[in-house]
Amino acid sequence: MAGPLQGIRVLDVGLLVQAPQAAALLSDMGADVIKVELPGFGDQARFIPLSLEDFRSAYFTACNRGKRSLTLDLRAPAGAAIFCRLAETADVVVSNFKPGTMESWGLGYEDLAEHNPRIVWAGGSTFGPAGPDAELEGADLAGQAAGGLVSTTGRDGDPPSPVGVTIADHIGSLNMVAGVLAALHARERSGRGQRVEVSLLGGQIWAQAAEYTHFLLTDEVPGRSNYGHPLLRAASYRIFETADGWLGVIGVPAEAMDGFLVALGRPELVADERLQSLFMAPEDLAWFAGVLEDAFRARPTAEWCELLREVGVRHAPVRDYREVVADPGTWDNGYFATVSDGDGNETRVVGTPIRMSDTPLEPAASPPELGADSDEILRDLGYSDADIAGFRDAGAV
């Protein structure tokens, strides 16, 4: 079945993660995504290899599957002119250059809107399009650090540590997709596209909206996670070490507490007055946390999962990637998928987190080779083979 964005054309001028991952999700939604890359070089993500012996790139594959590749030097007048012509056929442009870069090439929103008033132009940056840091370059770690996320991880007294994934880029990409979809919807009423701007910094602040609101209301910094969450002050909302790993306990409701204490092997605590209050004193919280830590170390994680399921306590094992991929539920839900590439080879890919009943999303298997679709795309724009050869001789394609 056709995806929800069938008939929408996206021009992806992005690099690495923020804009390319947004375009990848739009591709999963059925959009025709053309990846525009610098001739002879391409997206820098192509140069993050799996190893010194395996030059495939996980970053490039994950963020560029299902796209077509066109090489254009947008800095050259001929390359910019071709892009403007291509934009006349497009619905969306996404990029994550430093603010002002696309404008310096004559490819900003106002420039492209002259060629196509319906164009939705989405730009992602590190620190946002305004303010004293607008023109500073950065990447995922800059968003995590400047946005405050790094200050929340780990335990009091330990050095700060970033999250082990490109989470700022990822959240930025989702915000970009949301903005693009909203702009396409607004275009149905107005007939005009618009500029959409997101940033790594803005995405990190939005992702911590509750925690920042706590600070804005109290002028108190929530602090670090300390195995749980700084604002959810419950001894039973955190991860615990078990006999063979770690387990997350996601809070214990009052109606499940008696069964929980019995499962822990501490039935005598059912009548303990310290556990009868909804809001425990700090010293009581520390005491109960110690009780739980001692108890959970006595059994392996799998046993605890069975016991907690029986007594109706929310929980989740702390898993590594191998364990997550081995979980049949992640495949049943389409979070991972086996798909065929253009040569008929089956490969495992990260699927889509979104399920739609009538217009399902379909992840593709492979990213394009650099410039693999240039001639086809240029011919569709009306350029002759002689024109294309001339562009190549000039270094524009």
Q: Check residue 279 and give its pLDDT.
A: 79
Q: Check residue 48 and give its pLDDT.
A: 94
State which of 318, 350, 381 marks the end of a domain: 318
Query: Do residues 19 and 145 share a domain?
Result: yes
In a domain, 14, yes or no: yes
CATH number at 306 reads: 3.30.1540.10
Query: Do residues 202 and 244 share a domain?
Result: no
Overall average pLDDT of the 40-67 stretch: 94
State which of 281, 300, 318 marks the end of a domain: 318
Q: Check residue 6 and give its pLDDT.
A: 96
Query: Do residues 288 and 176 share a domain?
Result: no
Query: Do residues 302 and 375 share a domain?
Result: no
Nearest to 333 by CA among 355, 348, 349, 350: 355
In a domain, 44, yes or no: yes
State which of 289, 318, 347 marks the end of a domain: 318
Q: Check residue 320 and give its pLDDT.
A: 96
Residues for the chain: how many in total?
397
Residue 95, number of CB atoms within 10 A of its CB:
24
In a domain, 329, yes or no: no
In a domain, 92, yes or no: yes
Q: What 3 state SS string does the chain have?
A: CCCCCCCCEEEECCCCCHHHHHHHHHHHCCCEEEEEECCCCCCHHHHCCCCCCCCCCHHHHHHHCCCEEEECCCCCHHHHHHHHHHHCCCCEEEECCCCCHHHHCCCCHHHHHHHCCCCEEEEEECCCCCCCCCCCCCCHHHHHHHCCCHHHCCCCCCCCCCCCCCHHHHHHHHHHHHHHHHHHHHHHHHCCCCEEEEEHHHHHHHHCHHHHHHHHHHCCCCCCCCCCCCCCCCCCEEEEECCCCEEEEECCCHHHHHHHHHHCCCHHHHHCHHHCCCCCCHHHHHHHHHHHHHHHCCCCHHHHHHHHHHCCCCEEECCCHHHHHHCHHHHHCCCEEEEECCCCCEEEEECCCCCCCCCCCCCCCCCCCCCCCHHHHHHHCCCCHHHHHHHHHHCCC
In a domain, 388, yes or no: yes
Query: Do residues 58 and 195 share a domain?
Result: yes
In a domain, 356, yes or no: no
The residue assigned the tokens 């909302």 is 237
pTM exceeding 0.95: no
Q: What is the mean pLDDT of the chain?
A: 95
Query: Do residues 244 and 140 share a domain?
Result: no
Query: Do residues 57 and 178 share a domain?
Result: yes
CB 116 within 8 A of CB 107: no
Query: Do residues 276 and 384 share a domain?
Result: no
Q: What is the pLDDT of residues 295-343, one digit of tens each?
A: 999 999 999 999 999 999 999 999 999 999 999 999 999 999 999 887 8
CA dist., res. 105 & res. 79, Å (int): 10
In a domain, 300, yes or no: yes
Nearest to 25 by CA among 351, 372, 356: 351
Number of domains in the chain: 2
Query: Do residues 189 and 272 share a domain?
Result: no
Query: Do residues 171 and 249 share a domain?
Result: no
In a domain, 372, yes or no: yes
Query: Do residues 241 and 191 share a domain?
Result: no
AA identity, residue 310: E
Q: What is the pLDDT of residues 123-172, one digit of tens each?
A: 999 999 999 999 999 999 999 999 999 999 999 999 999 999 999 999 99
Q: Is the pLDDT at 277 greater than 80, yes or no?
A: no
Give percent of the chain with pLDDT exceeding 70: 99
Query: Do residues 187 and 253 share a domain?
Result: no
CATH number at 67 reads: 3.40.50.10540
CB 122 within 8 A of CB 198: yes
Q: Which domain holds residue 171?
A: 9-207+367-394
Q: Check residue 345 and give its pLDDT.
A: 86
Task: Please write down the long-range contacts of 300-303, taking CB distance under 8 Å and 24 or more positions apart.
Answer: 300/242, 300/243, 300/244, 300/245, 301/242, 301/243, 301/244, 301/245, 301/246, 301/247
Tell how far CA 329 is from the center of its chain: 21
